[in-house]
Structure 1
Amino acid sequence: MTVERLLPTPEARDLIELTREIADKELATRVEEHERNETYPEGLFATLAAAGLLGLPYPEEYGGGGQPYEVYLQVLEELAIRWAAVAVAVSVHGLSCHPLAAFGTEEQKERWLPRMLSGEMIGGYSLSEPQAGSDAAALACKAERVENGYRITGTKAWITHGGKADYYALFARTGEGSRGVSCFLAPGHVDGLMFGKPEQKMGLHAIPTTTAHWDGAIIEADRLIGREGQGLPIAFSALDGGRLGIAAVATGLAQAALDTAVAYAKERTAFGKRIADHQGLGFLLADMAAAVESARATYLDAARRRDAGLQYSRQASVAKLVATDAAMKVTTDAVQVLGGYGYTRDFPVERYMREAKITQIFEGTNQIQRLVISRALTK
């Protein structure tokens, strides 16, 4: 089912139509092969970059699309309806651009940002560590100042596009405590940087997630973004937008599951009529639709607050919580609608269900989102 979207401008409507055309041609036709074989879709991100889809919410003066966040997120949702792993990688790329775009010097932006926003350089986000996921202040990876820059030593974990990206928004320790973390625009390939074997994940098989081992690698001093010790505020400001990206991806995933369930329920018959016409199953489909549309409305509300220059951190956490919980519920219910067939790989709903689970975990677990929301309410 094509989602009928309320978009702010004719340009935005054209952009959504372009996204659908590319997604149907390049994503929907390849997703099953790559997800089943766990192979990387070589050339796909160059195609998305050529269409201008990798820098949409960033300024046009640096090569971005100049689009409001509410439009960018709906592009992500359209991609996710066809291929969640690719949509996640696009969201992470956008997340990796934020530190430079928001905190970099003019010289740094002119040097790197146009190539990042054009998709000439694909980015990853390197915050988590094996012992520091939700607790970002516990980072141990070190960046020591040396004569020719910074020496990076330590291990980072759970890096989307690990080993494939051209650069990483890297967070490493330059001092003690929560004010001792700094942000760097680290090169994707440098002596002393090695990547682990891709994680054997439940879903999102086509895009690698890896560890990164920094063994005394030297990066230039001008790759420091912001001030030394400003890393955690930079990371957290980026994550607000990243959480909205995951909310949009989760909504697209749920929409895909709903579409498959509805199509099946209209074709399958039992007891002399379509199973969609049995009230018990019809009500289940109605609840699934309500969950999808609620998730979409929630992330759009947060995005419009961001676009208006309002505080939106709490709303971003609400959107991430609501949309990803909805995705888990809707994909599980889609498997139920299809019955035994839903449990097989003959239909995509079993993949949707596996993919939905991670959305409740990355960019801050949903338990962390509840913590963020409750603290905001009781300030």
Structure 2
Amino acid sequence: MTVERLLPDQDARDLIALTREIADKELARRADEHERAETYPEGLFATLGAAGLLGLPYPEEYGGGGQPYEVYLQVIEELAARWAAVAVATSVHTLACFPVATQGTPEQRERWLPDMLAGRLVGGYSLSEPQAGSDPAALTCRADPADGGYRITGTKAWITHGGKADLYALFARTGEGRRGVSCFLAPGAADGLTFGRPEDKMGLHAVPTTSAHWDGAFLEADRLIGEEGQGLQIALSALDSGRLGIAACATGLAQAALDEAVAYAKERETFGKKIIDHQGLGFLLADMAAGVDSARATYLDAARRRDAGLPFGRQASVAKLVATDTAMKVTTDAVQVLGGYGYTRDFRVERYMREAKIMQIFEGTNQIQRLVISRHLAR
């Protein structure tokens, strides 16, 4: 089903139409093959970048699209409805651009942003560590001063696009405590940097997730983004926006599962009528549709607050929580609608269900989102 979107202007409507055309041509026809074979879609992100889809919320002066977040997120949702792994990687790339775009010097922005926003350089986000996932202040990877720069030593974990990205927003310790973390834009190819074997994941197979091992790799001083000690502030600010990207991914995935379930229910017959006409199943589909619409409304509310310059941290956590919990429920219910067929790999809904699970975990688990929301309420 094509979602009828309320968009702010004709430019946004044209952008969504372009996104749908590219998503149908480049994503929908390739997703099943690459997910089954667990192969990376070489060249696809360059295609998305050439179409202007990798820099939408960033300034036009650096090659971005200058689009409000409200529009950018709906593009992400359209991508996710065809191929969740690609949409997640696109959201992570946008997250990796954030430190340079918001805290970089004019020289750093000129040096890196145009190529990142055009997709000539793909970005990854390297914050988590084996013992510091939901608690980034506990990270131990170090950036020690060296002549003309820093030596990076330690292990990072759960890096989307690990080993494939050209640049990584890297967070490493330059001091003690919460004010002792700094942000760097690190090259993907550096002496002393190696990547672990891709994680054997439940879903999102086409884009690798790896660990990274830094063995005294040298980074020039001009790769420090912002001031020393500002890293945690940058990371948490970026994650507010990143959570909205994941909310949009989850909504697109849930929409795809709903569409598959409705299409099947219109064709399958039992007891002399189509199963969608049985009230028990029809009500289940109605609840699925209500959940998808609610998830979309929730992330759009947070995005509009962001676009208006209002505080949106709590709303971003609400959107991430609601949309990803909804995706898990809707994809599970889609498998139920298809019955035994839904449990086979001949139908996409079993993949959708596997892909939905991780969305409740990354960019801050949904338990962490509840903690964030409750702390906002306490204040």
Query: For residues 83-123 of structure 1, what are the alpha-carbon distances to aligned partners after superposition, in whole Å with 9 as ceiling and x for unaligned?
Result: 00000000000000000101111111111111111111000
Query: For residues 308-336 of structure 1, what are the alpha-carbon distances to aligned partners after superposition, in whole Å with 9 as ceiling and x for unaligned?
Result: 00000000000000000000000000000
Match of 1:192, as an amino acid?
A: G
Alignment-derived partner of residue 282 in structure 2: 282
Give the alignment of 1:193-204 within 5 angstroms. Answer: 193-204=193-204
Q: How many angstroms does 1:254 deviate by?
A: 0.1
Query: For residues 115-167 of structure 1, what are the alpha-carbon distances to aligned partners after superposition, in whole Å with 9 as ceiling and x for unaligned?
Result: 11111100000000000000000000000011121000000000000000000
Alignment-derived partner of residue 100 in structure 1: 100
Structure 2: distance between partners of 1:122 and 1:111:
14
Alignment-derived partner of residue 231 in structure 2: 231
Query: For residues 43-100 of structure 1, what are the alpha-carbon distances to aligned partners after superposition, in whole Å with 9 as ceiling and x for unaligned?
Result: 1111101100000000001110000000000000000000000000000000000001
Alignment-derived partner of residue 324 in structure 1: 324
SS state at 2:310 partner: coil
Match of 2:197, as an amino acid?
A: K
Matched, 1:217 2:217: yes
Alignment-derived partner of residue 307 in structure 1: 307
Structure 2: distance between partners of 1:295 and 1:130:
31
Match of 1:188, as an amino acid?
A: G
Alignment-derived partner of residue 191 in structure 1: 191
Give the alignment of 1:219-298 within 5 angstroms. Answer: 219-298=219-298
Q: How many angstroms does 1:268 deviate by?
A: 0.2
Structure 2: distance between partners of 1:4 and 1:259:
14
SS state at 1:30 partner: helix
SS state at 1:179 partner: helix
SS state at 2:296 partner: helix
Alignment-derived partner of residue 114 in structure 1: 114
SS state at 1:284 partner: helix
In structure 1, stretches of 5+ residues that fail to align are none
Match of 1:259, as an amino acid?
A: D
SS state at 1:85 partner: helix
Query: For residues 322-359 of structure 1, what are the alpha-carbon distances to aligned partners after superposition, in whole Å with 9 as ceiling and x for unaligned?
Result: 00000000000000000000000111000000000000
SS state at 1:191 partner: coil
Structure 2: distance between partners of 1:115 and 1:21:
24
Q: TM-score, normalised by structure 1?
A: 1.00
Structure 1: distance between partners of 2:31 and 2:114:
29
Q: How many angstroms does 1:263 deviate by?
A: 0.2
Match of 1:271, as an amino acid?
A: F
SS state at 1:47 partner: helix
Query: For residues 260-281 of structure 1, what are the alpha-carbon distances to aligned partners after superposition, in whole Å with 9 as ceiling and x for unaligned?
Result: 0000000000000000000000
Matched, 1:159 2:188: no
SS state at 2:176 partner: coil
Alignment-derived partner of residue 73 in structure 1: 73
Match of 2:311, as an amino acid?
A: Q
Match of 2:66, as an amino acid?
A: G
Alignment-derived partner of residue 32 in structure 2: 32
Alignment-derived partner of residue 130 in structure 2: 130
Structure 2: distance between partners of 1:322 and 1:238:
20
Structure 1: distance between partners of 2:184 and 2:25:
36
Q: How many angstroms does 1:235 deviate by?
A: 0.0
User: Which contiguous aligned blocks of 4+ residues in structure 1 show a shift greater than 6 angstroms?
Assistant: none
Matched, 1:370 2:370: yes
Structure 1: distance between partners of 2:340 and 2:199:
29
SS state at 1:18 partner: helix
SS state at 1:143 partner: strand
SS state at 2:29 partner: coil
Match of 1:264, as an amino acid?
A: Y
Alignment-derived partner of residue 345 in structure 1: 345
Match of 1:95, as an amino acid?
A: L
The alignment covers a number of residue pairs equal to: 379
User: Percent of aligned positions with the same letter in both sequences?
Assistant: 83
Structure 2: distance between partners of 1:315 and 1:150:
37
SS state at 2:190 partner: coil
Alignment-derived partner of residue 56 in structure 1: 56
SS state at 1:216 partner: strand
Structure 1: distance between partners of 2:364 and 2:155:
19
SS state at 2:213 partner: strand
Match of 2:77, as an amino acid?
A: E
Structure 1: distance between partners of 2:244 and 2:352:
19
- The alignment yields a C-alpha RMSD, in angstroms, of 0.4
Match of 1:84, as an amino acid?
A: A
In structure 2, stretches of 5+ residues that fail to align are none
SS state at 1:29 partner: helix
Q: TM-score, normalised by structure 2?
A: 1.00
Match of 2:32, as an amino acid?
A: E
Match of 1:191, as an amino acid?
A: D
Query: For residues 228-262 of structure 1, what are the alpha-carbon distances to aligned partners after superposition, in whole Å with 9 as ceiling and x for unaligned?
Result: 00000000000001000000000000000000000
Structure 1: distance between partners of 2:111 and 2:43:
25
Match of 2:274, as an amino acid?
A: R
Match of 2:199, as an amino acid?
A: E
Match of 1:90, as an amino acid?
A: T
Alignment-derived partner of residue 205 in structure 2: 205
